[in-house]
Structure 1
């Protein structure tokens, strides 16, 4: 009788990523992954201790892909911006995985590459060494939040998008000018959250890095 096939770590992660492309971390389970591979959960636990470790490995693959071929160019702000845009684009291609990165911090090679480059860039900014870890932490939180927020919008269906736009128009254009005078005044210029996301992303990153620059001696 033929033995059960042994799946490699990469094959397991490939299948897990495919499953997560149509679901989320909450509904994902090792049991579902095992069923998709035609095996049992115990065989997967030889590769990953639990679901959280598996999700962290999946998130790290996105970080690895984002940093593939990266070469530092420009000043420290340009380098951090380039990394930020690479992460945005990488998770933009697999938006269901963006929330996983924000929730399940990775400790793999991809995570180390991102951390190393941001820390190296900050070291060239003129900041004292004792301030750099805290500045890095704020940048990481900002990136994870922006990317997860954008990914959440990109996964909605066309029907959900149209429904949201209609609700937005009702909330803004239908605002009572006596109760909401500022909203009524700017109603025709206020834009929904889904509009012009890339420009907003770059502007927010630039503003934060400008703020960091003010702290340099």
Structure 2
């Protein structure tokens, strides 16, 4: 898309009917983009595909987004917003951070193809800004000094998004490939002999079970434990 064709934000907020009579809006375009990405992956993020799915002239999308990257950032911010929806601080900093982390992970797992495109982006938009404010607020109210709060915030967010992207990549695999990857633990590692690989042999029965689920919940607890150890008395 060309940024020169975008119109000012106030005009972009005007709803315009599509050929099917549906009122076009920023929210509808983002929701449609999320659906298309889920169905077709990164190649779905084109003006032509969006226009066809919306029943609108593709050029109409320019009224709401300056470029495909502008739309991608809106999709990224929407995922962050969905992760925050319904969250309320309880005053227990560990419980609050745990809830935020698990919500981030779940929101991205619900849209794995979009997660692969968006998890590494920084939007600076409404939902992301609210999330940054909320997480820093939890840490500062818990009593972490500002430099420590920022470092923990950074580690917490990168861990959450890193696992979200990793697990999304696994979910986005074709079913046959995903099954084959899981079978490696049973077909290969479980057959390693104690004479050559004593540690794998001793834990193979645990590996074949544990590697079938995300490591994020446990990794999150490890991070919270480490953060708690750094909290001033």
TM > 0.5: yes
Match of 1:189 among 195, 199, 206: 206
Match of 1:49 among 56, 66, 83: 66
TM-score (structure 1 length as normaliser):
0.85
The offset of 1:176, in angstroms, is 4.3
Distance 1:165 1:70 in 2: 34
Is 2:163 the partner of 1:152? no
Is 2:213 the partner of 1:208? no
After superposition, what is the alpha-carbon deviation per residue over 1:83-121, rounded to whole angstroms, capped at 9, x for unaligned? Answer: 112222222322222223312222222112211111001
Distance 1:141 1:154 in 2: 19
* Alignment partner, residue 69 of structure 1: 86
Distance 1:120 1:100 in 2: 28
Distance 1:87 1:159 in 2: 27
* Alignment partner, residue 27 of structure 2: 10
Distance 1:53 1:173 in 2: 47
Structure 2 residue ranges without an equivalent (≥5): 1-16
Q: Assess, with a 3 A threshold, how the Cα gap between structure 1 residues 114 and 41 changes in structure 2: closer, same or farther.
A: same
CA-based RMSD of the aligned residues comes to: 2.4
Partner-residue secondary structure (3-state), 1:21: helix
Q: Assess, with a 3 A threshold, how the Cα gap between structure 1 residues 126 and 170 changes in structure 2: closer, same or farther.
A: same
Partner-residue secondary structure (3-state), 2:131: helix
Q: Any conservation in 1 of the 2:33–2:44 contact (CA below 8 Å)?
A: no
Partner-residue secondary structure (3-state), 1:20: helix
Equivalent positions of 1:14-33 (< 5 A) are 14-25=31-42, 28-33=45-50
* Alignment partner, residue 167 of structure 1: 184
The offset of 1:141, in angstroms, is 0.4
Q: Which structure has more RCO (C-alpha within 8 Å, separation ≥ 6)?
A: 1
Q: How many residues align?
A: 213
Partner-residue secondary structure (3-state), 2:97: helix
Distance 1:89 1:181 in 2: 36
Structure 1 residue ranges without an equivalent (≥5): none
Q: Any conservation in 2 of the 1:57–1:106 contact (CA below 8 Å)?
A: yes
